Structure 1
Amino acid sequence: MLDVLTKNPSLFDGATAFLNRDPTHEDKASASNKCLVALYGGGEDDSLHALRYKTFVRSAASAKVHLARLPPTEEAAAQHSYRTFHQVQKWLRVNLELTNWGRKAATRA
């Protein structure tokens, strides 16, 4: 990961989205997608969907396709970014309001 960050200093800007207390879901997902594209060897203009397709086509030319080696879908990457954001905020001792994250407040009967 450090090699990827040193080769792509623009990813540091994306990492700040996880340190900020109020980024939008789109900011977190976008930062995560850029980082994953870089980790899987894509360019700055590549999307995760395009990179996933290119990787699949390249691997389909060989005898075996290893689905586990494909980049995640953008939807899966977004869910991962939300979990990562939550974990970083926990490390920073920031208590997040869980109802803002899709949780429902329990009512006692």
Structure 2
Amino acid sequence: MSFGPRIKELRTAKRMTLDQLAAATGSSKSYVWELENKNPPRPSAEKLSAIAAALGVTVDYLLGSDSQSLGDAQDQAFFREYSGLHPDTKRQLREIAKTLGGKRPT
């Protein structure tokens, strides 16, 4: 899947509108539409990073230049965000993960 359709698929899966993704990335609605629909898109590295963060994936996943799965991309994005958290928040998340780790989904 190419860059534009990948952004659109992730955006719609998160139930985000073009306006919402544009606001989250400091872009205009028309710019996000162009990224999703024009070929080839030419976003800056800064915009790529902002879009990846807003969609909860890595830039590599957006670009399709990596063989990583969506789950792996989401995990990496989560761990990057986690690393910048306050130590107390990290502790709380570790406790939650430990509690949830003992439970199996039904």
**TM-score normalized with structure 2 length:** 0.35
**TM-score normalized with structure 1 length:** 0.35
Q: Which has the higher contact order (CA 8 A, sep 6+)?
A: 1
Greater helix content: 2
Larger-Rg structure:
1
